[in-house]
Amino acid sequence: MQKLMLSFAVLAALAGPAVARASDVAMHVEDVPIGARALAAASKPAHFNMLALHWVGSGSVGYRVHRRHGGWARWVAADADVAPDGGTGRWHDGNLDWTGGSDGIQFRLRGEVRRLRAFELWSRVTTRALRRPSGTGTPVIVSRSGWGANEEIVRARPSFAPALRLAVVHHTAGTNAYTPAQAAAIVRGIEAYHVLGNGWNDIGYNFLVDRYGTVYEGRGGGTEKNVIGAQSEGFNTGTVGVALMGNFAYAAPTKAQRDALVKLLAWRLDVAHVDPLSTVVYTSGGNFKFRSGKNVTLRAISGHRDTGPSECPGAVAYGQLPGIARRVSVTGLPKLYGPTVVGALGGPVRFQARLSSSLPWTVSIVDQLGRPVASGTGRGTAVDWTWSSLVAGRGLFTWTITAAGALPATGTIEIARPGPVPTLSLANLVAAPSVVAPNADGTDDAMTVGFTLGVDALVTAQVLDAGGVPLLTLLNEQRRAGANSFGWGAHVLPDGRYRIVVTARSGAKSVTKTADVVVDRTLAALQVAPSALSPNGDGVNDTAALSFQLTQNVPVRLDIVQGGLVVGSPFQGQLAIGPHSLLWDGSGFGAPLFDGTYLATVTVTDQLGDVQLSRPITIDNTPPKLTLVDKSTLRFTLDEPATVTVLLNQKTRIVVGEPKGSFRIPFAGTVAQLSAEAQDLAGNLSPVVGA
């Protein structure tokens, strides 16, 4: 029997789009209505050059885009990087695809698709500089600042693993046809999609490699550090995720791409002293393929499909991984692999490692002042030396294993002073905000879960539904004593009440704490325009419009807040599903408000409680002060940021935006006459300055 197929077009974005904007990236998110009447009323979205889809149901989704300066492109199957279990009601998270400049989408549904959400991104194409990281033998890497990462959207500081154990190779599953200039725009789009669309803390990959052989720094924290990414669910800790930019299900990565991958992995695994031809037994943190706690044997250079239910990095690229691993193993020789230290100070301490070839080696021990304590030497393919530390005093000792030409391995061992034995404890569990609205509008899209450990412990965090049924594993990794945190986007769950259960384990002991949270998408995309107003009746910025989107019929209240106090309530009433715009004239409870900055707060009350979004808004009735300091150099001063318009010699008009302070107007000719005025953000005009 032929499966039911539904085809439709989205010809316009919903009013009040959810937009998250950095200097180079804008993202629009819309829940696509599934139904003939709703589709007939749809209209055209803003332009975009990248697209990703999320959907719920056992069916599949196809799409094609309308080129801004052409016709319809070919149909493409939306690729879900990891598919949820059937019947769970969770979202399929589609990969982000580079579409090129587009202004329309058509969708084609096969089978059961209950919900569909489109993420349309515009990532500006720019040219950025490269930088070479410190150290020898390192590949050229485009830094985060080089490709234009938006650090303002990063949700949490990076977490680090105690050691790096293996590399996981991915593909981004997008287009293989992009220019060198477009590649950085794709990386910026991936960052925005991972953070604002998927609700992750930062871009998921640790590195990305484009088809021209350019390597990009991914998740922040340091290219040589063991940064925990979001690239292999259940296997993120202690792995480095490298994404090949493109789709390699049927096509091969370019030679430049493969060569760059080899050089990158040869360097990064050497920093971690990992043998690229070795295997690792990894205990899964849990995903749809491997349950939590299952031991999985992985290659030191594995594909994403080895760790989870995915076709990534594509059949062709996956088939090339053994050859890539062999090339990595002979790149940058000699190498030092697997340094280990067994024993405790006060007794014998054994140092071991493997070498890629027979080499002279040395193990040296120094105290915390750098003074030599002990050393051992040898030659061969294996390092094996035991230090009799019976006479070692208390304190910190640093060990180093060196071999001719290889990157040294180093670490510390310590005899601690006697003191109170720390006990396992889990305290200060807080989820903030406790009500999260994962609709990609840039406000309360994700929460940060913080807690404090008394000792190092294995920490597991799960999400339970209102009935106590586990839905998701958010965390399963070793954490250090002290303050800890992790982020959660909640985008895969429907609106409702949930409980986060955090358990810390050390040895045979465990302790558990819980935090109740709410997922509620009723209110989205609150925008204020203009952000500054001057309600003086001159017709310029006398009122501000607060626009937002509602997903259900609810009571709505608009409050104006300053210093924690409500100073005005311009609106209170029932509003229906859809876009809305409320006007505010700058007054409080029946009287004009003084100049200053306020919070415009929209509160909706639904079956889950109150949901609030706030935006700052400024009342400013004071004109800017523009002063001509020197006519010969056209130097002026401003007492606040403003747009300055200068008319020179009655014919040359120059308009510039200037911050507060001193500035010059660029002009090469002789100034016989000038007049200038400034207009601030609220629309106030300064007196005209003339000379």
**Residue 376: which of 397, 394, 352, 395 has the closest Cα?**
352
**Lowest model confidence (mean pLDDT) among 420-424, 565-569, 582-586, 646-650:** 420-424
* Same domain? 579 vs 635: no
Residue 9, pLDDT above cutoff 50: no
Strand order in the sheet with 544-550: 523-529, 544-550, 578-584
* Same domain? 632 vs 528: no
Q: In which element (H, E) is residue 271 found? A: helix 255-271
* Same domain? 176 vs 315: yes
Residue 671: give its domain's CATH number: 2.60.40.3110
Write down the pTM of the prediction: 0.66
Q: In which domain, by residue range, is 250 found?
A: 141-329
* Same domain? 191 vs 233: yes
Does residue 411 lie within any of the structural domains?
no
Residue 171: give its domain's CATH number: 3.40.80.10
> For the chain, what is the radius of gyration of the CA atoms?
30
CA dihedral sign of residues 411, 415, 417, 421:
positive
Does residue 648 lie within any of the structural domains?
yes
Residue with tokens 């593909």: 171
Q: CA–CA separation, 189 vs 103, rounded Å?
A: 17
> What confidence score (pLDDT) does residue 203 get?
95
Residue 325, helix vs strand vs coil: helix
User: In sequence order, what are the residues at sequence separation of 6 or more whose Cβ sits closer than 8 angstroms to the Cβ of residue 537?
Assistant: none
Q: CA–CA separation, 34 vs 571, rounded Å?
A: 33
* Same domain? 238 vs 314: yes
Give the CA distances from residue 141 to residues 167, 267, 325, 554, in Å, rounded to whole numbers and listed in that order: 17, 12, 21, 50
Does residue 412 lie within any of the structural domains?
no
In the structure, what pLDDT confidence band is assigned to residue 571 with cuts at 50, 70 and 90? Answer: very high
Give the CA distances from residue 131 to residues 138, 216, 262, 264, 551, in Å, rounded to whole numbers and listed in that order: 11, 10, 19, 15, 46
Does residue 129 lie within any of the structural domains?
no
* Same domain? 158 vs 297: yes
Does residue 413 lie within any of the structural domains?
no
Which of 482, 515, 548 corresponds to the end of one domain? 515
* Same domain? 499 vs 533: no
In the structure, what pLDDT confidence band is assigned to residue 421 with cuts at 50, 70 and 90? Answer: low
For 228-249, the pLDDT digits (tens) are 999 998 899 999 999 999 999 9
**Residue 537: which of 597, 621, 616 has the closest Cα?**
621
For 272-288, the pLDDT digits (tens) are 999 999 999 998 888 87
Residue 389: give its domain's CATH number: 2.60.40.2550
Which of 64, 88, 123 corresponds to the end of one domain? 123
User: In sequence order, what are the residues at sequence separation of 6 or more whose Cβ sits closer than 8 angstroms to the Cβ of residue 478?
Assistant: 162, 237, 456, 457, 458, 459
Does residue 418 lie within any of the structural domains?
no
Does residue 377 lie within any of the structural domains?
yes
Does residue 297 lie within any of the structural domains?
yes
Structure token digits, residue 527: 């925008």
> What confidence score (pLDDT) does residue 420 get?
66
* Same domain? 316 vs 220: yes
Q: Total structural domains in the chain?
A: 6
Average pLDDT over residues 76-92: 59
Which of 123, 156, 191 corresponds to the end of one domain? 123
Neighbours of 313 (CB within 10 A): 28
**Residue at 580: amino acid letter:** H
Residue 390, pLDDT above cutoff 80: no
Average pLDDT over residues 67-72: 86
* Same domain? 484 vs 402: no
Neighbours of 193 (CB within 10 A): 27
> What confidence score (pLDDT) does residue 560 get?
94
* Same domain? 478 vs 394: no
* Same domain? 575 vs 433: no
* Same domain? 361 vs 435: no
**Residue 231: which of 259, 198, 254, 263 has the closest Cα?**
198
Residue with tokens 């807080």: 430
Average pLDDT over residues 163-190: 93
